[in-house]
Structure 1
């Protein structure tokens, strides 16, 4: 066992003494040591109940003959960090989580690992860290919160996005503050990751597609007792992987990444998944590019349309069978790599055990998709030579191609002030730049400006492009991850107020309608801005991070 490094032989007597100070017995010294990495805290609603998940995981480890040790790591709630200086730290936290996992697991020579994330950057952070240590690993999330309800219980369900849109409606005079207060008190009714196919739930679903989590990881509600049973089984499963010697990279490899990309396109996850899966693929030694994402989009049908792309809450997918149903439909089309290994077993075995037919409504059948192409779309052009991304499934059909005058802002705050001040008009193209991985730094999410545009009724007449990124809750013609970013001298830095910009989502193009001669003159005159942060973790991150099209990867 790997843990023999800290418990075998005369030279390890001091180590055993310290372990016995933890209450470890001689009998337990003979068993595998399992790290239970928990991101529980009191501030993130998706994490407040993770102590119960950890207790269940540890019970499962003990039932299967292992010795669990709980370890903590940090987390940042994107919703709470949104639209202020705190959002600079969200994507940065992905790397801190990865580093903390590596330090704790390597420092104590664990035999296996169970990761308990739930929200936003914590999930990919744990995946990146787990790939570095590469021991038998299982993921089990805390699960999604239940959706809220409209007054009287009728109408579409509500979620966090209802509040962001509501704030824009209040500013536009379309909603009063009393109505907003109702949603404030009801839209997030339980613990769990925000209801909807936002970033956290997208990544937790993709952990199933990657094969590193048991079926139900992404969809079983946080408050259901089924979630605790799932956690116990995760604890038992990691012991099985330890016994068989199945390491994380035996599961998470090129085949797994391919299958996750297919699922992502089919269920219309957050655009952040492109960032995170690209980084995960690089860490796993099977790098992917924006061209690979575009190829996945072209061949994969869109089968599931959940909030914010459609009216249904995430719990609807749970009720019809969850991620395995989507994978089953994709397998029928021959789109999954059958050589993949999952923590359940080889993929064919997984499909036979876990999948049931699609219901045809929540998850469309392969012969009747919402769209023959995937929910996410890659754009290129003279604004984004290295690519950009948009959630095509959440765009009104009338905005699939739009040309308008650029309204240029060098920060999210500047853009929000203009939008909320009524300075943006139908037909405009809002450009928010210097918010990329280096320029932000930290590539802030832009849910506040996109929600303000939607709340003011402009989502079918105004497009937005940025070198920053979007929350999974974002909808409308919002194009993010523009690469290269402005701070690196990308063409988005050269756009001037009033320039004609064309966003062609169906055609996959993002075009500044200015001559190449004019762009060259602007490029020669451009000067890089001074760093926004010159100390602390943000300054270090800005020096080390790669571009968005490379997953904002820190090596």
Structure 2
């Protein structure tokens, strides 16, 4: 007997007591014969104000066309929000970036639950889009697939490849007279040549790679460029796989397990991925009721090396993995064969990760993009979880090794990113200093705004190996240098970072994973008694609600923890 696949939608379409609902469905173009079909919600983070998202509606239309070709399915497109990190970076708008993840999850959950869709195909672009849709799909726990919007093509100027970080670093170079005003403008104009997410191993590509390894994307989805023939083919064939998931009743919680999460984290760390991976995986794991903590990240960090020579710390982009390696599945197969990844995890193909890789070609190491495990770029991961008196609940360091693994210097303290940026651009930062940016955490920011400007300005000014930066905020996936973020407790909550003064000695030890303020405990307690908590920066609207509900960075900054 044929298994029903319209288990949710039939509560509307087969209920004779809902004539108004049926009338509205007829108005959408449905025929009577369509009332027996499973309904698929096709959700994208489309909006045309951001290159990462501007093409997602087009991909959604291709997916809807492929759904029509499946006689038992019907698709309905809808959209959710997005925030451009590149456009809002360094402005008050960036406070909304991380909180947008929760709005994305809530809005998808709302539409799918309200309209009784039987399955979901989600099409994210910019980086908060990806964990946002993933969290919603786990909550809904209906057959679902993620189709990544794909990364952008590289820009080109003066015989060099460009990407979004090139434009930020160009400002630092211009301000230190390394390049002219004309060169600066040309770099800015040519950094982003069209649609797609930022091209390096920044947060969007980090999360896409991780979710492909976790099994929530079809093979090649994370590495097929936004406008490639491969991305179009993926959109055309995804309907076959969503129908298979419906028939086999395979749901996200069957796929997202502690083991599959470990696969995603291992791949992302091997590729030198973004520190935002930590926040998003913690939130995804919480949604799936999987016990995955900062301790798990540190354990994995000690197990896997960096083998990806990818921006921001390296040289290459995701398009190079696609063009010269053959795509992310080639790397996954290599890590499976070497025993790094677990092969028996279920995926959205209905098969295990290992079976998906059966016909994938073996990696060819006659290139400089991906290194072999026996000759890695760094023997263990760049992501380090640091504890100490500054971060008793944890902090996240991004240490690739090229800037060293130990830093000790005098604090130069700023209570906002804006003040720190001005100091860097005005050449008021001295070699050997530890820049401290505080009151930019989940509640202090609010919204834990991502910071690419200060790290890019530091690199552009040629100070990458000479200064460190610590913060209770977070960094862009494009950030590199000796940086530590996600310091918990944050300054707004009375964490020790609030009591640091200019000239204090701070020690960052990425070998022993410690972050220490070298001030006597008696003096710390004296400063604590004198500290007056600053007023929260907003008192109404979404950010006010976010302040009142958000968890700490060490718990993933989720808003549904109660």
| TM exceeding 0.5 | yes
- Give the superposition deviation at 1:236: 2.4
- After superposing the two structures, state which structure 1 stretch, 515-524 or 211-220, moved more: 515-524
Tell me what 2:240 maps to: 236
- Give the superposition deviation at 1:355: 5.6
Matched, 1:162 2:137: no
Listed as ranges, the matches of 1:415-426 within 5 Å are 415-426=420-431
Change (3 A) 1:375 1:328: farther
Provide runs of 4+ in structure 1 moved above 4 Å.
none
Q: Is the 8 A contact 2:307 2:370 kept in 1?
A: yes
2: CA distance between counterparts of 1:421 and 1:4?
Answer: 64
Tell me what 2:448 maps to: 443
The equivalent position to 2:156 in structure 1, one of 149, 154, 167, is 149
Tell me what 1:365 maps to: 372
Tell me what 1:327 maps to: 332
- After superposing the two structures, state which structure 1 stretch, 229-238 or 420-429, moved more: 229-238
Deviations 1:360-396 (A, max 9, x none): 6322222222222123222111111111112222x53
- Give the superposition deviation at 1:358: 4.7
Deviations 1:528-547 (A, max 9, x none): 21101111101100111011
2: CA distance between counterparts of 1:232 and 1:119?
Answer: 22
2: CA distance between counterparts of 1:534 and 1:449?
Answer: 28
1: CA distance between counterparts of 2:543 and 2:489?
Answer: 19
Give SS of 2:155's match.
coil
Tell me what 1:511 maps to: 516
Matched, 1:476 2:474: no
- Give the superposition deviation at 1:189: 1.0
Matched, 1:284 2:288: yes
The equivalent position to 2:75 in structure 1, one of 68, 76, 79, is 68
2: CA distance between counterparts of 1:267 and 1:121?
Answer: 19
The equivalent position to 2:51 in structure 1, one of 45, 48, 52, is 45
Tell me what 1:177 maps to: 181
2: CA distance between counterparts of 1:58 and 1:301?
Answer: 41
Tell me what 1:134 maps to: 141
The equivalent position to 1:313 in structure 2, one of 314, 317, 333, is 317
- Give the superposition deviation at 1:527: 2.3
2: CA distance between counterparts of 1:378 and 1:317?
Answer: 28
- After superposing the two structures, state which structure 1 stretch, 43-52 or 83-92, moved more: 43-52
2: CA distance between counterparts of 1:353 and 1:29?
Answer: 39
- After superposing the two structures, state which structure 1 stretch, 27-36 or 334-343, moved more: 334-343
The equivalent position to 2:21 in structure 1, one of 9, 15, 26, is 15
- After superposing the two structures, state which structure 1 stretch, 206-215 or 375-384, moved more: 375-384
In the superposition, the TM-score normalised over structure 1's length comes to 0.97
Q: Is the 8 A contact 2:219 2:356 kept in 1?
A: no
Deviations 1:443-466 (A, max 9, x none): 011111111111111111010000
Tell me what 1:375 maps to: 382
1: CA distance between counterparts of 2:358 and 2:378?
Answer: 27
Tell me what 2:498 maps to: 493
Tell me what 1:541 maps to: 546
2: CA distance between counterparts of 1:371 and 1:515?
Answer: 35
- After superposing the two structures, state which structure 1 stretch, 510-519 or 329-338, moved more: 329-338
| Aligned Cα root-mean-square deviation (Å) | 1.4
1: CA distance between counterparts of 2:377 and 2:37?
Answer: 51
The equivalent position to 2:90 in structure 1, one of 83, 88, 100, is 83
Q: Is the 8 A contact 1:303 1:326 kept in 2?
A: no
Matched residue count = 550
2: CA distance between counterparts of 1:326 and 1:372?
Answer: 17
Deviations 1:101-134 (A, max 9, x none): 0110000000110001111211111111111111
Tell me what 1:199 maps to: 203
- Give the superposition deviation at 1:359: 2.9
- After superposing the two structures, state which structure 1 stretch, 371-380 or 191-200, moved more: 371-380
Q: Is the 8 A contact 2:90 2:453 kept in 1?
A: yes
Q: Return 5+ residue gaps in structure 1 as ranges.
A: none
The equivalent position to 2:62 in structure 1, one of 56, 63, 71, is 56
Q: Is the 8 A contact 1:119 1:201 kept in 2?
A: no
2: CA distance between counterparts of 1:257 and 1:527?
Answer: 41
Change (3 A) 1:471 1:250: same
1: CA distance between counterparts of 2:331 and 2:386?
Answer: 26
- Give the superposition deviation at 1:286: 0.4
1: CA distance between counterparts of 2:449 and 2:391?
Answer: 18
Q: Is the 8 A contact 2:384 2:510 kept in 1?
A: yes
Give SS of 1:299's match.
coil
2: CA distance between counterparts of 1:131 and 1:33?
Answer: 18
2: CA distance between counterparts of 1:489 and 1:233?
Answer: 52
The equivalent position to 1:28 in structure 2, one of 34, 56, 66, is 34
In the superposition, the TM-score normalised over structure 2's length comes to 0.95
Tell me what 2:352 maps to: 346
Q: Is the 8 A contact 1:196 1:313 kept in 2?
A: yes
2: CA distance between counterparts of 1:370 and 1:287?
Answer: 31
